[in-house]
Structure 1
Amino acid sequence: MNEASDPSRVIHLNQRLDPASERVGELLGSVRSIAGKRLQQWVGNAFEHVDDALFDLAEKAENNAAQMHYFDGMREVRKRRPAVERSFLGAISRHIGELPHPQLSGNPASPFGTPELTLVADNELEESLAITSMISKNDARLARELFTVNQRLSVICGGRKIEDSSNPVAPAILAQAFRQALHELSADMRVKLIIYKLFDRYVLSSLEELYQEINTELVRAGVLPQLRHEVLRGDAKGAGPAAADATDEATGEIPSDLLQTLHALFSARRGPAAGGMHAIPSGPLPSANELLGALSVLQSQIASAGPLPYAQPDDAAALSREVLQLKGQLLTQLGALRGEKPSNVATIDEDTIDLVGMLFEFILEDRNLPATMQVMLARLQIPYLKAAILDRKLFAHRQHPARRLLDCLAEQAKSWSEESDRDRRLHDKVKSTVDQLLHDFDNDMGIFERLLVDLQQFQDLNKRRSELAEQRVAESTRGREKLEQARRRAAREILDRIGEHKLPPLVHGVLARAWANHLVLTLLRQGEGSPEFKSALRFVDDFIASTKPATTLESRQALRQMLPGIERALRQGLANVAFQEQDIERLLGQLHTYYRQQLGETPEATEAVVVGEDAAMLAIPDSIQPVIDQDTTPPDSVEEDLVEAPLDSPEWHQVQSLQPGTWLEFCLPDEPMTRAKLSWISPMSGRYLFVNRRGLKVADYSPQDLTVLITDGHARMLAANALFDRAMTAIVDKLSQPGTTPPADTATE
């Protein structure tokens, strides 16, 4: 039997357990086990990325002293990492065990103490700000899940209130415990700040998974099985509409009260004494057929003007005026057909006219659509008003063909830009769809379904093409990143082994260029665990060791024994990176000369002694590119520009929440506007790859670079939900604002 289903095992909110009981020990033991396992995994993951982050910064250091600072930090972290992890995990384990006995932990609200508001060193202030930022960001993000953990721990601990500040697995306690653990490091604050960023990314950002696991285990054990995270700290609103939206998506219908709300809002805005269409009738109200007839005349006037010209963004202002004036034009046309202008129409018809008008106002204001596409779609106001009069379900059903067609047109239009549509294929498809509706739609609602099927076929064909191109771009980018990762690994292995050794230029040149490339190829082909890679690393050690002064008989004998193996390995490795035979012999000749000098032997008079600064360049062909000495900037790592990027800003959180498939608009200085989809996030570098609607690469950015672009207004995310849904939400919001003037008032002036 499941413990939670056994009434004798269920612990309710008003029940208090004895903190000294065996049951409390069992439950807290489960929490400690879950937390320990997860935190150990995540902290280890964070430290695994420290090397990469510090190595990136070292490569970009402005001078040798700064570079050595980061290499020193790498060595210090490697040496002290086990102690830091033990300190951190031990502190959390102890505090979980002390939960039922707060007196053991001193101040239960803050077991690690709270810094006093006194003058502190700049480094300490910087560290405190980093900690505070991490805590506040994650407290807000995890409020729902953490609330349920707090409640269940409170019951376990005999009713003592557990809050975020006293929960051992809350962001505040975890961050402070990690801060204490970093006291094990003697590295300076620049290195520590990088470690804090990685702790935030790989530990605190994963806490939702930990809380879910703890809640699941405690529910299984019968602790508050009926508890739901209903309480939202500081903001209890929003859950209802979100749940309603989910239900609506499932059923495909808009709640009936939304349409009633719209009618009520329109009525309230006009008021009982409003003029215009609500003046005292001077004759019978126009029937639906009369309205459709007048609209058909207006539609034919637009259609008879010929095919739509290539839309221009400047047309939007003129179209916006036309949208607002349609109601007045409709009354005038009704008057021409009747012989007298009616003073009003039925309330339901007026609401429909206003609702369609506001829908197309929204389209002309929607920054999700490029201006060129706004202009074309706005031409559909009359066909859609006719469709809404013919079928009142258009606004009530998400699956209505007319609604789906407009959503599909908008979704296609969202990805459009001049650059990505040079053949005008998408532009002309949208234009032809609009033209067909203007020319052919009378009262046959089936046209929307037919045009929708045709547009979806066009969409599917282009999607298959773009997916193939997108896949090639991703594979190419992945290959380049694997190559760059291998280059960095090779450089790091060689630099670590060189350490403080002062190598002759000839030996340094061989390692930095030819042998580093050999390591790269071996990593890519055989992998880091292969015998070939380990053998290549042993050569580096031997090659460096061979440069030590041979001043004794024993050292000279050891060097002579080492040289055949060095020559054999060099021949194989240089052949692997496409050295020509004559180049290999020339390099080995230079090394022979160098080693004869090392052994104290006098070179033949005819031999050129080449051991100076240009030795390595003389020996190695120009086609062999350097790995360590190259003057190029490698791809950015996840920690590039750590200090510059606003990592605690709303824009940073937006970037962190981005998912592949999201569209963004980029407006960079001196470049045309372009729209691009997030195609892939590199698991190696964390960079974001963007492609256009044809699947071709537009750009790739580090999360920090993208955050800066969004902050500066050069990039913005486009909405993922459907046009119709966004429009309906905006219309309700607009009508709910005090002082909003309904379209009817301006239309009949």
Structure 2
Amino acid sequence: MPNASQATSSEPLRVLEEIKRQTVEKLGGLPDALYPGVEQALSMALQSGDVGPGHFEDQTALRMMRGQAASLVMRFRQQLAKGFDDFRGLRVRTRSELPLGLIDDVHLAYHLDGQRLAESLQGRFGEAIDAMDARLRDMAATLGMPEVPNPIGPDRLAAAFVETFRETEVTDNVRGLLVRQYEAELVRRLGDVYQRANALLAATGFGAMTGARGPAAMPRASAPSAHAGGYIHDTVDAVPYRGHAGVNSGAAMQDFHGGAGMPAAGHMPDADMADLRSMLRMWREGGMAGSSGAATSRSPAPAPRDRGLGGTPRRELRIDEMLNLVNLLQPEPSDTFARALAGPGRLGDAIREHLGDGARRIGVDPEQTRFSDQEEDAIDLVALLFDSLFRSNSLQDRARRLYGRLVLPYVKVALTDEGLFVEREHPARKLLDAITEACEGNQGATPQEKELLERAAAASQRVVAEYNEDVAVFELAHAELDALLGQHRKRSQLQEDRLVKATLGRERLDKARESADEALVQRLRSTRLTQAVADFLAMPWRHHIVQTQLRDEDPARREEAIALGDALLKADRLAAENRGRELADHLLAIEPLVLRCLASSGLDESAAQHGLAGLVRALATPDGPRRAQSAKPLSGGETVESGEERKLWLAGGTTGVGHDPTVAERMRKLEPGDWVRLTDVHGDVAAAKVAWVSPMTSRFLLVNRRGLRMLVASAEELAVMEQDGRLVVGSERSAFDEAMRRVRERIDSAAETY
């Protein structure tokens, strides 16, 4: 067959056949390439201890799939070829022609995986795909065929995977690993496939070369187009990161400089970053480390760093050597970092010791080499960052191993892409925020919380297994985790809304009880009463006032409820004065009010009549004993927060405690949506959001990231907490931003001491 690149536009089928041959040759063996990655992920999970009771089933499913390897490869190659056959004019069944029926859970899960996969590929290779789609439309027009889908577009590749694997019996975990591994393999191969296909089509007159991309095609920033019948997933953000490019292995990282068009909110000026580096190096090499509880401990003299044993000069490790060393150690599970995170100031030393041990294994003597300033900066910034994350967030012990696995990947990011510490849209930064959100305060008490922890662990495992200086891995891991977090945020918002309503209800109840107690006390202390009238006022009547104020907005009804109490006092006075006829007329007049009052206590008509009869009998005896009465208040002095919460959070428990009026006035300016940091009596720090300010009491409702109540307090009580150092106003919304702010404060404080 002649070379397709020399064909003319009258030979479109020969061009299409050449593209098919190259595609099947490049992608046809993909199923066989998936198993090693899945096996490695399962092995890493076992070594790190993040496995559940289904691990044996996962291993069994993988072995069974390996047994079907040949048939799966054949099936996948057939699916690839089918896309080209459909394009060449074989009849394509429309959705209306497909048989209808129920879809089982497994097939539905594969379908959803295909949606996410197609969208991710469209976002990553969008321009190359659009260029190829346009050329294929020209080809279809030349052949006189209706427009058909791209035979190697994202939808077709996702469908090929689904059709190949959906009949295999695999566990949910293995299926998820297969999808991720398939996506990773496509990312590595599709750039070259699309480049060659676009080159062939352009060389034969179908479109121009301007839309083609090379193997290292950058993702486009526009949203993926929706093809007819294609996979669409509405929770995964396919817009990629377009920040600083990482340096290649062996190339020194350039000094950071701001990029044009960078969002102001996520940009750290050059001078600030340079100043941070300068103070960091002073802190590392001088006496600042001891005064700040830093992550490293060094002699102030620089000579030991430059000289090895015997005084021989120590050379600096090159960036490529450092990256190779981190690449070697990254897949190995290490509990060293998890243990170091248990105490402040240990992680930096743990990273250096671990890298030193790894250097010996590859034949590099740590006594004859040293880290460069750039490498030292990366280690210290990551160590301080992770340490600050654990100090600033309510992270449980189970999260330490998860974060420990991420230490070396983030050291590598810090070495190759300083945008991690500068740009809020950096994928690695967004992933760390998402993992922190998933883990903060999460004890795995509910199935949803357990799923969040498992998904966060899977994201960290994916980064460890796949990250090789391409931040797209962080982007994919973040998209998967953020999709679940989106559902969690909706649940948290609903929980927060319910909590606001419940808190408002409690405050209205407290106010109604206080009003009823005040009305009762005023009437009991004004006269001596028979026991029956006093009991009626203390129980049914007081309860009736509360219910009326809560449920009835009509002022006349409320006045009527209060007037009933005065009417009963008059009835008791008429009875005491033996004015029987007037008493009888009075009781007949207030009978409807008494029955309505008893009905509000839950009594039916018969019981209410019985209660009224008992009251009448007591008043029918003029000489009955009368004495001064008292009643215990319904509210009991309690407000919205419980006594246990008062012991935990508030100093003094009332707004009358000593406080600074200036601080209290500043607290009153807090608005819903503002974030603060709270420290409980155990020293644990947690983020809290002002969810609501009571219109009745001006008290602040503070909730955690899960929408659960942490505290209800007045401005005065918050002022006391800030004076005691248990509350910090102005916390950053992002966990990463807050951690970096604390890192800067820590180094600034050390600089002042130094």
- Give the conservation status (yes or no) of the 8 Å contact 2:428–2:475: yes
Residue of structure 1 equivalent to 2:427:
401
Contact 1:364 1:375 in 2 (8 A): no
Find the aligned partners of 1:496 and 1:300 in 2 and give their Cα distance: 76
| Corresponding position of 2:497 | 471
Alignment partner, residue 60 of structure 2:
none
- Superposition pairs for residues 235-250 of structure 1, below 5 Å? 250=264
- Whether 1:258 and 2:272 are equivalent positions in the alignment is yes
CA contact (8 A) 1:323 1:357 kept: yes
Is 1:646 equivalent to 2:658 in the alignment? yes
In structure 1, distance between residues paired with 2:728 and 2:396: 13
User: Matches of 2:717 and 2:667 in 1, distance apart?
Assistant: 10
1:522 to 1:627, Cα distance in 2 relative to 1, 3 A: farther
**AA matched with 1:502:** R
Does the C-alpha gap of structure 1 residues 533 and 332 become closer, same or farther in structure 2, counting only changes over 3 Å?
closer
2:322 to 291, 298, 304: 291
Secondary structure at 1:572 match in 2:
helix
User: AA paired with 1:259?
Assistant: M
| Cα distance, 1:475–1:729 mapped onto 2, change above 3 Å | closer
Task: Give 1:563's match in structure 2, choosing from 587, 591, 600.
Answer: 587
Could you tell me which residue of structure 2 aligns to residue 46 of structure 1? Answer: none
Q: Distance in 1 between matches of 2:701 and 2:376?
A: 48
Q: Is the 8 A contact 1:593 1:610 kept in 2?
A: no
The alpha carbon displacement at 1:257 in A equals 0.5
TM-superposition CA deviations, 1:250-297 (whole Å, max 9, x none) = 342111102221343355564897235545996975443222111111
- Is residue 387 of structure 1 aligned with residue 413 of structure 2? yes
Q: 1 CA distance for matches of 2:696 and 2:656?
A: 22
Deviation of 1:298 after TM superposition, in Å, equals 1.6
2:569 corresponds to 1:544: yes
Which aligned pairs between 1:197-276 and structure 2 lie closer than 5 A?
Answer: 250-266=264-280, 268=282, 270=285, 274-276=302-304
2:347–2:387 contact (8 Å) kept in structure 1: no
* C-alpha spacing 1:695/1:580, structure 2 compared with 1 (3 Å): same
TM-score, normalised on structure 1? 0.52
1:447 and 2:447 are equivalent in the alignment: no
C-alpha deviations, 1:462-496, integer Å up to 9, x for none?
11122223323332333333233223323333444
Q: For 1:717-738, what per-residue CA distance to the aligned partner results, in whole angstroms no more than 9, with x for missing partners?
A: 8944434434444444554566
CA distance in 2 between partners of 1:399 and 1:689 (Å): 31
Contact persistence 1:504–1:611 (CA under 8 A): yes
For the residue of structure 1 that corresponds to 2:559, the secondary structure is helix
The structure with higher relative contact order (CA 8 Å, sep 6+) is 1
- Do the aligned partners of 2:517 and 2:633 also contact (CA within 8 Å) in 1? no
- Contact 1:441/1:447 (<8 A) preserved: yes
Number of the residue aligned with 2:544: 518
CA-CA distance at 1:447 after TM superposition = 0.7
Equivalent-residue separation in structure 2 for 1:552 and 1:339 (angstroms): 109
Provide the C-alpha distance between the structure 2 equivalents of 1:344 and 1:562, rounded to a whole number of angstroms: 100
Using the TM superposition, give the Cα deviation of residue 507 of structure 1 relative to its aligned residue in structure 2, in angstroms.
Answer: 1.6
Q: Aligned-pair distance for 1:402?
A: 1.3
Q: Which moved more, 1:720-729 or 1:635-644?
A: 635-644
Secondary structure, in 3 states, of the residue corresponding to 2:541?
A: helix
Q: Verify the 8 A CA contact 2:267 2:423 in the aligned structure 1.
A: yes
Residues 275, 329 of structure 1: alpha-carbon distance in 2 compared, 3 angstrom cutoff: farther
TM-score for both structures, normalised by structure 2: 0.51
The Cα of 1:700 is off from its aligned counterpart by: 4.8
CA contact (8 A) 1:316 1:371 kept: no
When residues 267 and 540 of structure 1 are mapped into structure 2, their CA distance, relative to the original with a 3 A threshold, is closer
Contact 1:678 1:688 in 2 (8 A): yes
Q: Measure how far apart 1:703 and its partner are.
A: 6.1
Counterpart code for 1:391: D
Using a 3 Å threshold, how does the CA distance of structure 1 residues 344 and 577 change in structure 2: closer, same or farther? closer
Match of 1:324 in 2: 349
Matched, 1:348 2:374: yes
> Matches of residues 546-695 of structure 1 in structure 2 within 5 Å?
546-548=571-573, 558-598=582-622, 630=634, 632-635=636-639, 642=654, 645-648=657-660, 656=668, 659-660=671-672, 662=675, 667=680, 679-689=691-701, 691=703, 693-695=705-707
Aligned to 1:438: 464
Distance 1:725 1:533, change over 3 A: closer
Do the aligned partners of residues 248 and 656 (structure 1) sit closer, same or farther apart at CA in structure 2, a change above 3 Å counting?
Answer: farther
Quick one: distance in 2 between partners of 1:395 and 1:696?
31
Shift of 1:425: 3.3
CA distance in structure 1 between the partners assigned to 2:496 and 2:739 by the alignment: 31
Partner of 1:358: 384
Native 8 Å contact 2:444 2:453 kept in 1: no
User: Which of 487, 512, 526 in structure 2 is aligned with 1:500?
Assistant: 526
Q: Secondary structure at the match of 1:458?
A: helix
SS at 1:523 equivalent: helix
User: Size of the alignment, in residue pairs?
Assistant: 467
Equivalent AA in structure 2 for residue 684 of structure 1 = M
Q: Distance in 1 between matches of 2:627 and 2:531?
A: 6
1:420/1:665 Cα in 2 relative to 1: closer, same or farther (>3 Å)? farther
The one-character-per-residue Cα deviations of 1:190-241 (angstroms, maximum 9, x if unpaired) are: xxxxxxxxxxxxxxxxxxxxxxxxxxxxxxxxxxxxxxxxxxxxxxxxxxxx
Matched letter for residue 473 of structure 2: I
Q: Secondary structure at the match of 1:300?
A: coil
Question: Structure 2 vs 1, CA of residues 278 and 525 (structure 1 numbering), >3 Å: closer, same or farther?
Answer: same
Judged with a 3 Å threshold, the aligned counterparts in structure 2 of structure 1 residues 249 and 443 are, in CA distance, closer, same or farther, namely closer
The CA deviation at 1:520 is 2.6
Q: Deviations over 1:359-416 (max 9, x none)?
A: 3344455466455535532432210121122223322323211122223323443343
Separation (CA, whole Å) in 2 of partners of 1:739 and 1:573:
72
Query: Partner of 2:331: helix, strand, or coil?
Result: helix
Deviation at 1:649, TM superposition (A): 7.7
Q: CA deviation at 1:500?
A: 1.7
Distance 1:349 1:709, change over 3 A: closer
Cα distance, 1:315–1:657 mapped onto 2, change above 3 Å: farther
Stretches of structure 2 that go unaligned for 5 or more consecutive residues are 1-260, 287-299
Does the 8 Å contact 1:512/1:629 carry over to 2? no
- What is the identity, as a one-letter code, of the residue corresponding to 2:420? L
State the secondary structure of the residue aligned to 1:501. coil
* Structure 1: 5+ residue stretches without partners: 1-246, 599-608, 617-625, 743-749
Counting only pairs closer than 5 Å after superposition, residues 82-231 of structure 1 correspond to structure 2 as none
SS at match of 1:379: helix
What is aligned with 1:151?
A: none
Which amino acid in 2 is paired with 1:274? P
Q: Distance in 1 between matches of 2:639 and 2:563?
A: 28
- The Cα of 1:701 is off from its aligned counterpart by 5.3
What is the root-mean-square deviation of aligned Cα atoms in Å?
4.8
| TM-aligned CA distance change 1:381 to 1:485, over 3 Å | same
- On the 8 A contact 2:394/2:685 being kept in 1, the answer is no
